[in-house]
Structure 1
Amino acid sequence: MSFPKVSPGGFKAVYGVENYVQGVLDHQLLHLIKVRVSMVNACAFCLDMHTTDALKEGETAQRLFGLAAWRESPFYDERERAALALTDAVTVLERTGVPDEVWDAVVEHFGAEGAAHVLLAIGTINLWTRLNIATRKQPELAG
């Protein structure tokens, strides 16, 4: 099933949030969030798309590969680490919600509005991964 063809209005609505987030967040950080969510959710299509996009926009392979173990990797600054911790907490949401220390660190580094933008980015990519997994969207093999 092609979600955009079956539900063009739904696709347009989700893409609207995507466009908003792209306009308010640093693209390097946004790539890290998208790749990490794609890893956690095991979305092959999203992982292929977002790593390809990140590399084209200058992200390093080392930092992208390091996302699998970002807590142990020295490749991320404190701001990125705060966003990645929130990414993990929201993507694998516990019944108790996001831990206070995770949320507080994001607000400390991004401010309240910036934290909302990071949260929107995380929520949006989580929606995309779930739509792509549910509709069995697969990446194309590289030539």
Structure 2
Amino acid sequence: MPQFAELRRRVIQGGEAHFITSLTRCVRWAQRGGKSNAYFAKTRDDRFIIKSLNKAEKASFLRFAPAYFEHMVKMLSGQRTCLAKLLGVFTVTFKPTAGGGLSAATGSSSGPNEGLDLLVMENSFYGRP
């Protein structure tokens, strides 16, 4: 979605390069209170949170995405919001290895790939004591 790239360009100090660099170093985050058993991680610089999405969550997000981006345009024009900035939805694809493990897919696959849908959002508490 090109709207994500534009949102990142407008809100992330350091731009896309900083965003990508942050995502290369993440640690699992044991979030308490959730009922979805979703995977959570935080970037080591604490700027971003990553959450796994099941198929229903991804479909739901894609349905409300146009309204979300419309709201974010208003926010960037000075209207305040309590919503965290959602900065991307990505599918990380893995290919099963002969030993039963997973390795990152390279684009050439001899079998079915397994994917993990991830939502990346700002950490609203970044830089706060």
Q: Whose strand proportion is higher, 1 or 2?
A: 2
Greater helix share, 1 or 2?
Answer: 1
Q: TM range, normalised to the smaller chain?
A: under 0.3
Larger of the two Rg values belongs to structure:
2
Q: Provide TM-score, normalisation by structure 1.
A: 0.23
TM-score of the superposition, structure 2-length normalised?
0.25
